Structure 1
Amino acid sequence: MFSYFPGNYAWSTSVNLALMAGGTIGDIHRWLAPLRDSGSTDVFEWGKAWSAMGHQQEGLAEIDVRAGHLTTAGTRLLRASVYHATGQRQIPPGPVKSESYAAMLQAFADAVEHTPLPVERIHVDSPDGMLPGYLIPATSRLDETGRAPVVIVFGGLDMTKELLYAIIGRTFAERGITCLVIDTPGVGEPLRIRGVPARPDSEVPARAIIDDLETREGIDASRVAVMGLSLGGYYAARAAAYEKRISACVAWAGIWDWGTTWRRRWETGAAYHVPWFQLPWALGEQTMEGALERVSRFSLVDVWPEVAQPLLIVHGEDDQQIPLADAARAFEAAGSADKELRVFTASDGGAEHIQTDDPDPARQLIADWLAQRLVVAPRTRMRAYGIAGR
């Protein structure tokens, strides 16, 4: 892995995630080199550097707006939102974190306004209250009725919908698939604004999301896929197991038993990509002991056999967060007849967790795999039977 902060896995993997989402090494080096060179591990100094990085882009965007260069301004603002999002992930809950998160939301909203980004903000009514998300509409290959399949994207531990948009962008839309990036319980707005913790039964929010999608024009709700990054791979698999309206599943990290993984991390002091406060906070617990008890419910050991839809698991050979052996066990246990485990190696690039060290090959592979099952294959079947579309 590219270790900008040697010996500091959490900060280095955050740098890689920011690059994955469209940050630039020039910006990052300009603001983070003093921290690296001094050996500082102060998370508030870390947060200040990322906030300054984001605000610099916002200032440059203002100049672009005055010059009438709105698309350029929007691009800078999207990058600013990535920088604010990256900085606040290492900061404990409190005023500083909240201020940085608000700056992220504002920068993204301004990017949508100025570019304009082709997204539609939606709110899904669920048992946990309203879940906010962004629909990214398909741009091509719609069926005869003008509808497109859709993929619901779940983020990992503290991966917001804005960061998901920056990572995915138009990758699915260009292949004829509408994409929904959404904050679910335990992340983004539900956690920060309403205090809604993560829940193990992800089929509950998934069910509410699909109910909502069935009411929207331009979406073929008979072709709904789920995809999840990191912990989102757990959410996607669990949703597919118990919500049979889902047509395909992608786990961008093959999770087996997340509770056991966390217990092992805690007992060994293993490096992780977020500080230890993150787990209790996301799960609505006050102590690590309570969080470890609650996280034991996040197991897919008995769930994978219930996943019958076409399944793709994407994993890195050198994943330091989820062992490759867990992905292999998940693949063997999955009940899908159409299933694939794609392991990226060091020679491929993308050998780290969710391929942050070289993400684009995995991103394109996932999009092509979903297009084959949601766009190409359904049309082939329809033509074979003389059906114009549902």
Structure 2
Amino acid sequence: MGGMYFLDQPDVMAPFVAGNRSRAFGAGLDPFAYERVTDGLRSLHDWPAAFRAAGARLVAAADEYAAQGRTVSAGEALRGAARWLHFSTLLPHPDATAMAGAARAADEAMGRALALTEPSAVRVEGASFAGWLRHPVRLEAPVAPLGPVPVVVVVPGTDSAKEEFHAVADALLARGVAVCAIDGPGQGVMAARQGPRADYQHVVGEVLDAVAGRPGVDVERAGVLGLSLGGYYASVSAAYEPRVRAAVAVSGPYRLDWDGLPPFVTDTLTRRCGGREAAREFAGRVDLTGTASRIDCPLLVVEGGTDDTPGVADGTALAAAAPNATLLCVPHGDHLLGNSRPDWLARTADWLAARLLTTP
């Protein structure tokens, strides 16, 4: 494939660190720790090891807490470790073995965290995905819903993984729906197994098939919430998977123009797809122009007003084309709206839960 096109760009480190700052904060990384870790970088080549080291320190702290019987502290440290380990994989780095190892370590840390603090969580896997099914805490009657509750599939984006969106999952769980946060093709622990696919409705269908029949979950009232490229995945799933009753696309593309995309995106897709031509073909299929009109379930499109990535037609076109869509635009929001979480997350979780819990 050639050299590291993005990493070899001159003067690339400072913009990358700055550009991922709000994303890191929105995902739950401590802002002061982020500054300490990134201040110590000499180049972006150092990013993966520095973030892995931060995750390893939290794993060591969790081991110490667990040995002392401090289960809550151990679980919190492991959740934090999962986030840091995931963030070590963001770059289009040539060491695929190290990237795959970090993704596995993030997955294992999150699994250990859930085993300590949320033992009702269930590992769910299929040919094209791996994730965790989590159940909402049942409130005292008469507030508690009776019978099975709807499930929301939370879908990450191009370089994301299920460990990045703890806040999204927690917000939905708090509102009485189950959550299945996954890695699909080209994402997280699945990235080493298969490249991304544009027909993501088959992945969501496989998730719902795997969850069907599990106690307390109603897959016939399913929702899907996708972030960044996951917003496209959520939209195409809403168009073609009949069990999806409501969907949310956060910072998702309406379509991609390969020739206009920035080097970080093209290099990331090239590595995750296994080659430049495969990546170009995949990008060409990320296009909702002929699909948006098929999305007849309620769709919430969440956009940041300052999110302007070259080569990406944003979700405002989707909101205009889908027949039952609502646009929520935060004027000062950036990509993934990590700089404005109070302006969209609660509103979005309320919107999605209300539509699923009131669906017959």
Q: By the TM > 0.5 criterion, same fold?
A: yes
Unaligned runs of 5+ residues in structure 1 are 383-390
Q: Is residue 18–residue 83 contact of structure 1 (8 Å, CA) maintained in 2?
A: no
Judged with a 3 Å threshold, the aligned counterparts in structure 2 of structure 1 residues 6 and 345 are, in CA distance, closer, same or farther, namely: farther
- Residues 126-175 of structure 1: CA deviation (Å, up to 9, x unaligned): xxx2521111112245543x2101111111012112223x2424211111
Cα distance in structure 2, aligned partners of 1:218 and 1:188? 27
Task: Tell me the distance in 2 between the aligned counterparts of 1:324 and 1:257.
Answer: 6
**CA shift in 2, pair 1:21/1:190, >3 Å:** same
Deviation, 1:254, is 4.0
TM-fit CA distance, 1:105: 2.6
Specify the SS of the correspondent of 1:171.
Answer: helix
1:370 pairs with 348, 352, 357, which one? 352
Q: 1:148 to 1:200 in 2, by over 3 A?
A: same
> Do 1:136 and 1:170's aligned partners in 2 also have CA atoms closer than 8 Å?
no
Q: CA contact under 8 A between 1:111 and 1:117: conserved in structure 2? A: no
CA distance 1:204–1:322, shift in 2 (3 Å)? farther
> Any idea what the Cα deviations from partners look like across 1:247-304, whole Å, max 9, x if unmatched?
111111242112x1x3212xxxx464x5x431022223x22x4422332111111110
> Does the CA contact (< 8 Å) of 2:145 and 2:176 recur in 1?
no
Q: Post-superposition shift, 1:237? A: 0.7
Supply the distance in 1 between the matched residues of 2:304 and 2:118 (Cα, whole angstroms): 35
Residue matched to 1:385: none
> Does structure 1 retain, via aligned residues, the 8 Å contact 2:27–2:338?
no
- Alpha-carbon distance in structure 2 between the residues aligned to 1:254 and 1:48: 29
CA separation of 1:243 and 1:102: change in aligned 2, threshold 3 A: closer
Contact 2:13-2:43 at 8 Å conserved across structures: no
Aligned to 1:386: none
CA–CA separation in structure 2 for the residues paired with 1:167 and 1:228: 13
In structure 2, the residue matched to 1:181 is: 181
**In structure 2, which of residues 108, 112, 115 is the aligned counterpart of residue 113 of structure 1?**
115
Q: How many residues align?
A: 345
Structure possessing the higher radius of gyration over alpha carbons: 1
Query: In 1, distance between residues paired with 2:228 and 2:347?
Result: 16
Aligned to 1:294: 282
**Residues in 1 aligned to 2:354 and 2:98: alpha-carbon distance in whole angstroms:** 45
- Give the match for residue 387 of structure 1: none
2:306 equivalent among 298, 307, 318: 318
Q: Distance in 1 between matches of 2:128 and 2:197?
A: 15
* Contact kept? 1:151, 1:225, Cα under 8 Å: yes
Greater than 6 Å deviation, 4+ residue runs: 322-325
Aligned position for 2:5:
none
Residue matched to 2:168: 168
Identify if the C-alpha distance between structure 1 residues 323 and 136 changes in structure 2 by more than 3 Å, giving closer, same or farther: farther
State the one-letter code of the partner of 1:32: T
Q: Quick check: 292-301 or 11-20, which moved more?
A: 11-20
Q: Is the 8 A contact 1:132 1:182 kept in 2?
A: yes
Question: Which of the residues 342, 350, 354 maps onto 2:336?
Answer: 354
Q: Is the 8 A contact 2:23 2:336 kept in 1?
A: no
CA distance in structure 2 between the partners assigned to 1:48 and 1:324 by the alignment: 31
CA contact 1:158–1:187 (8 Å) conserved in 2: yes
Pair 83,163 (structure 1): closer, same or farther in 2 beyond 3 Å? same
Question: Which residue number corresponds to residue 75 of structure 2?
Answer: 74
Question: Does the 8 Å CA contact 1:197/1:283 hold for their aligned counterparts?
Answer: yes
The answer for the alignment partner of 1:96 in structure 2 is 98
Change (3 A) 1:212 1:142: farther
Question: Structure 1 residue 117: deviation in Å?
Answer: 6.0
Partner residue, 2:259: 263
Of all paired residues, the percent bearing the same amino acid is: 27
Q: 1:150 to 1:238 in 2, by over 3 A?
A: same
Cα deviations by residue, 1:298-335 (Å, 9 ceiling, x for unpaired): 11111101111011000000003378963222111112
> Residues of 2 paired with 1:340 and 1:185: CA distance?
28
Tell me if the contact between 1:47 and 1:87 (Cα under 8 Å) persists in the aligned partners. yes
Q: 1:63 to 1:354 in 2, by over 3 A?
A: same
Aligned residues of 1:156 and 1:232 also touching (Cα < 8 A): yes
Q: How do 1:180-219 and structure 2 match up within 5 A?
A: 180-192=180-192, 194=193, 196-219=194-217
Letter of the aligned partner of 2:60 in structure 1? G
Matching of residue 340 in structure 1 with residue 329 in structure 2: no
Give the conservation status (yes or no) of the 8 Å contact 1:13–1:356: no
- Alignment of 1:27 onto 2:33: yes
- Which residue number corresponds to residue 12 of structure 1? 18
Question: Which residue does 1:388 correspond to in 2?
Answer: none
CA 1:118–1:366 in 2, change beyond 3 Å: closer, same or farther?
A: farther
Aligned-pair Cα RMSD in Å: 2.4
Q: Distance in 1 between the 2:219 and 2:144 partners?
A: 13
1:239 and 2:221 equivalent? no
Alpha-carbon distance between aligned partners in 1 of 2:242 and 2:118, rounded to the nearest angstrom: 35
**Corresponding letter in the other structure for 1:86:** F
Deviation at 1:198, TM superposition (A): 1.1
Match for residue 252 of structure 1 among 236, 250, 255:
250
Partner of 1:103, secondary structure, is: helix
**Contact 1:313 1:340 survives alignment (8 Å):** yes
- Aligned twin of 1:278: 268
The letter of the residue matching 1:342 is L
One-letter code aligned to 2:183: D
Counterpart CA distance in 2 for 1:85 and 1:68 is 27
TM-score computed with the length of structure 1 as normaliser: 0.81
Are positions 1:139 and 2:137 aligned together? yes
